[in-house]
Structure formats: structure tokens, C-alpha cells
């Protein structure tokens, strides 16, 4: 789901919702990891990378529209 082809096929509203959901999941992952050992220790890195991909796609659309 994080491949570039998938990000480019989503609408602006879908990207915004995906960004909000991913950030919420990252926040939950961060605070749940503080109490106990996480199941997937690479999850925060994957979520941060996904947020970066979404923001990059949104910025590229912004620049092409302008």
C-alpha cells in the first residue's frame, strides 16, 4: 500500500484521511511502546516512512497545481 503507484492513485481526501489515520496509529504505537515491549519493533519506522510518502505526494500535487 505504500508504493508510489498506490499513493498517486488516491484522491486528495483519501490522502488526508490516510495521513490522519497513520499519524494516530503512530501516536498510539509510541505510547503503547513506553509501557511494554512492542510486538513489531519496526512499526514506528514504517509508519514514519508512510507519513513521509503521503506528505511528499501531497506536496508534489501542490506544486503541480500552482
Are 22 and 47 spatial neighbours (Cβ–Cβ below 8 Å)? yes
Instruction: Give the pLDDT of residue 61.
Output: 94
Q: Residue 57 — very low, low, confident or very high, per pLDDT cuts 50/70/90? A: very high
> In whole angstroms, what is the distance from residue 53 CA to residue 28 CA?
20
CA 34, CA 15: separation in Å to the nearest integer?
A: 29
Predicted model pTM: 0.83
What domains appear along the chain, each with residue ranges and CATH number?
A: 4-65 (1.10.287)
User: What whole-number distance in Å separates Cα of residue 42 and Cα of residue 51?
Assistant: 15
pLDDT tens figures, 8-50: 889 999 999 999 999 999 999 888 866 777 678 888 999 999 9
Amino acid at each position: 500500500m505504500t508504493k508510489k503507484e498506490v499513493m498517486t492513485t488516491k484522491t486528495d481526501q483519501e490522502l488526508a484521511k490516510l495521513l490522519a489515520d497513520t499519524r494516530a496509529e503512530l501516536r498510539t504505537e509510541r505510547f503503547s511502546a513506553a509501557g511494554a515491549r512492542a510486538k513489531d519493533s519496526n512499526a514506528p519506522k514504517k509508519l514514519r516512512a508512510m507519513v513521509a510518502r503521503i506528505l511528499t505526494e501531497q506536496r508534489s500535487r501542490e506544486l503541480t497545481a500552482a
